[in-house]
Amino acid sequence: MGEFIIIGIDLGTTYSCIAVWRNGHVEVIANEQGNRTTPSLVVFTSTERLVGDEARQKNGIDFKNVVSDVKRLIGRNFNDMEVQSDLRYWPFKVVNKQGKPYVQVEYKNEIKDFMPEEISAMILSKLKDYAQDYLGSENVVKDVVITVPAYFNDAQRRATKDAGRIAGLNVLQIINEPTAAALAYGLNKTIKGEENVLIVDIGGGTTDVSLLSINNGTFTVKATAGNAHLAGEDFTNQLLDYFVEEFKRKYDKDISTNLRSLNRLRRACERAKCILSSSFYASIEIEYLFDGIDFYSSITRAQFEELNSDLFEKILEPIERVLIDADLDKSDINEIVLVGGSTRIPKIQKLVSSYFDGKELRKTVNPDEAVACGAAIQAANILGDQSESIKNLNLYDVISLSLGVDNRGTTVDTLIKRNTHIPAEGKDIRITCHDGQTVIRFRVVQGERELVKDNTVLGEVVLEGITSAPRSETKVELTYKVDINGIIHVSAVELGTGLSREITILNNELSQEEIERLISEAEMYREEDRKARERIQSMNKLDDYARQLLKRLNNEKDRYKIKIEDEEKLRNIITTTIEWISNHHDASKEEYDEKRNELLNLASSFFK
């Protein structure tokens, strides 16, 4: 009988990570290539769909069909300013469908449109497979805790949960990434009394800052802030723009019009950015970048820091905000913990340390794995694991953005303020504005601004059938509830009559029918992936066997076992077979198997 296991997943913008709690500690699960993080990439070809490291290998070939950064699309509207600013950097196409961004690719020689949730589900499904292989068939991988940026709004959280459902996972909880990182940091640390810990999480797509107090196994989030569009990808984009301009200046040619050239340059910029975290200099060398021109250039760490100086300075804004919201001074912070790959950038470390008057930064947790480890710890906590280190674990998180209702369509009345501990509840009484009114409408608003237009409108709630009466006599009690996932539920009750309605916000959340359809499609893709994997395995078996035979023919010990004329014949057939494989990567499994059997039978008849 297998164990009941819950896994933790950090679904990142550029890389994802998966972990599990077993035998009293966290284990990070490696992928097929042995890597402990997996690229958040999906590539579509004429024959198959690839995810993760396999997709990365195809990045230069099928660049228009390599989908990345989908976390920057999930739960958003097509016309969102952040989406529009990213479009020019992506080689893949994003189209507008009913106001939502869909990824458009060519798959099996057909144009296909995918919701961001579907792409995310493909990544989650792959991670789920890695966990299943690691834990064994006797342990069914179904339940999961998934992390999201603290500054994800309701729509983005719902969409992430939907992605998990499409992947065939039961999402038990959505938790904030910096909160998860704090769990990973504080779990095995000996803390005397209460300690204020600042988590600075800068990954590929987002920046999050959370301030927690840790006291005897109790983790209490005091404040959180962030920027949902400030991180490693933006630093890379600054480099990309710099070299596009340099190329234009040197050769009077604009490579931004050529997606293939732009994609090659972007990958070189990504490598240079990573190199500059450990070196003071990085070179860019790309042959035939554009119009047959070889592009050779370089950049220093100082230049990189200057290019991104404005963005780096913005990282301090959420740090200042959480201190104000928590009513704490810099001197009240006991520890500063850096997580996320972008915190490896020396300038960011220096800025954060300098802001706290040279305070030492804690780097005791792996920045790439801390969030997934924290998710796995919370998964074990939900499960009720009685391991000594977590049996007394308590986690109190907060809502990161205020929730309100529109007042006559223009201003916002706040019902639940940001940094309120969740689960949370807020109430408000709404009155009718017209005589004889039988329908009341109000908009659910998320954000910190005074005017509705400057915030995110999550949806419009409509309550029909209320009592017809003179203006302001009919009253409706509006209730907002925020669950442990940070997801919002709304209900309304007409006072006096007791007429009540549970309201579902009509935003990005998918219907049950849509979820079931997408689950069915996801299973279809999984079956296609399985067949593609078997086809590749058959191709590799044929190639391996042919090369083994060739090696045998070249071995002095085996050559006497075959006639000279047969040896020449077999050698020619082997050479022809290897050439055939290199020219027929798209052949069917049956073709590979048939050729291998033919070769097997021929070799058996020749060797005595």
Instruction: Let me know if 143 is a catalytic residue.
Output: no
pLDDT at 511: 61
More confident residue, 606 or 449: 449
Residue type present at position 528: E
- Computed over every residue of the chain, the mean pLDDT equals 88
Kindly report which listed range (295-304, 439-448, 511-520) carries the lowest average pLDDT score.
511-520
**Rg of the Cα atoms in the chain:** 28
- C-alpha separations of 566 from 399, 543, 545, 573 in Å: 76, 21, 18, 11
How far apart (Å, rounded) are the C-alpha atoms in residues 74 and 101?
8
pLDDT confidence bin for 548, thresholds 50/70/90: confident
Q: 1, 12, 2, 6: which is closest to 369 by C-alpha?
A: 12
Write the CB contacts of 27 (distance below 8 Å, at least 6 apart in sequence): 19, 20, 21, 376
Indicate whether 304 pLDDT > 60: yes
* Residue 605, helix vs strand vs coil: helix
Q: Which helix (H) or strand (E) holds 512?
A: helix 512-553
Say which amino acid occupies 135: L
Return all residues near 586 (Cβ < 8 A) that are at least 6 apart.
46, 47
* Active-site pick, 201, 208, 234, 529: 201
**Contact (CB, 8 A) for 377 and 27:** no
Strand pairing category for 411-416 and 403-407: antiparallel
Per-residue pLDDT tens digits for 555-598: 766 666 677 777 778 788 888 888 888 888 778 888 889 888 88
Does residue 137 register a pLDDT over 50?
yes
Residue 542 CA to residue 578 CA, distance in Å, equals 9
Selecting among 69, 177, 233, 368, the annotated active-site residue is 177
DSSP class of residue 455 equals S
- What is the number of other CB atoms lying within 10 angstroms of the CB of residue 544? 11
Average pLDDT (250-261) is: 91
The predicted-structure confidence for 351-400, as pLDDT tens digits, reads as follows 999 999 999 998 888 999 999 999 999 999 988 888 888 888 889 999 88
Compute the distance between CA of residue 24 and CA of residue 201 in angstroms, rounded to an integer. Answer: 26
181: Cα within 13 Å, side-chain hemisphere: 33
State CA 72 to chain mean position distance.
8
Instruction: Find the farthest-apart pair of alpha carbons in the chain and give their distance in angstroms, rounded.
Output: 107
Predicted confidence at residue 247, as pLDDT, reads: 95
CB 390 within 8 A of CB 363: no
Q: Is 201 a catalytic residue?
A: yes
- State the average pLDDT over residues 71-99: 93
The pLDDT value recorded for residue 129 is: 92
Work out whether strand 170-176 and strand 143-148 pair parallel, antiparallel, or are unpaired: parallel
Tokens, residue 446:
């998320």
Q: Record the tokens describing residue 276, joined without a space.
A: 């500059």
CB neighbour list of residue 100: distance below 8 Å, 6 or more residues apart: 76, 77, 78, 115, 508
Nearest CA to 581 out of 533, 529, 545 is that of 545
Structure tokens, 460? 């419009």
Whole-number pLDDT of residue 501: 64
- Map residue 205 onto helix, strand or coil: coil
Residue 27 is predicted with a pLDDT of 95
Q: What is the pLDDT of residue 1?
A: 46
Q: Which two tokens stand for residue 351?
A: 């800025």
Query: 386-438: per-residue pLDDT in tens?
Result: 888 888 888 999 988 899 999 878 889 999 999 999 999 999 998 888 888 88
Q: Which two tokens stand for residue 374?
A: 């924290």
Percent helix / strand / coil, the chain, rounded to 5:
40, 30, 30
The C-alpha atoms of residue 215 and residue 194 are separated, in whole angstroms, by 4
When pLDDT is averaged across residues 148-166 and rounded to a whole number, the result is: 91
Round to whole Å and give the CA distance between 600 and 592.
12
Q: Which of 48, 54, 71, 509 is catalytic?
A: 71
Residue 439's pLDDT band, with cuts at 50, 70 and 90, is confident
Summarize pLDDT for 50-84 with one digit per residue, the tens. Answer: 899 888 877 666 788 999 999 999 999 999 999 99
> What's this model's pTM, rounded to 2 decimal places?
0.83
Residue pair 244/268 in contact (Cβ under 8 Å)? The answer is: no
pLDDT reading at 238 higher than 60: yes
Identify whether 10 is a catalytic site residue.
yes
What domains are there in the chain, each with its CATH number? Answer: 6-229+315-396 (3.30.420.40), 232-311 (3.90.640.10), 403-510 (2.60.34.10), 513-606 (1.20.1270.10)
pLDDT of 346 strictly over 90: yes
Q: What is the mean pLDDT of residues 280-299?
A: 94
Segment 146-164 shows an average pLDDT of: 92
> For the segment 463-503, what is each residue's pLDDT rounded down to a tens digit?
888 888 888 888 889 999 998 888 888 888 888 887 766 66
Q: pLDDT band at residue 2, thresholds of 50, 70 and 90?
A: low
What is the distance between the alpha carbons of residues 407 and 414, in angstroms, rounded to a whole number? Answer: 10
Q: What is the pLDDT of residue 16?
A: 96
Helices (H), 289-340: 301-307, 309-314, 316-326
Q: Any residues with CB less than 8 A from the CB of 158 and at least 6 apart, and which?
A: 75, 487, 507, 508, 509
Amino acid at 511: S
Per annotation, catalytic residue among 10, 368, 406, 494? 10
- What digits encode the pLDDT tens for the residues 504-545? 554 455 666 766 777 677 777 777 777 777 887 888 888 888
Mean pLDDT to the nearest integer, 297-302: 95
Residue 156: strand, helix, or coil: helix
**Residue recorded with tokens 């674990």:** 393
Higher-confidence residue of 11 and 392: namely 11
The pair of structure tokens assigned to 107 is 């798959």
State mean pLDDT over 314-319. Answer: 95
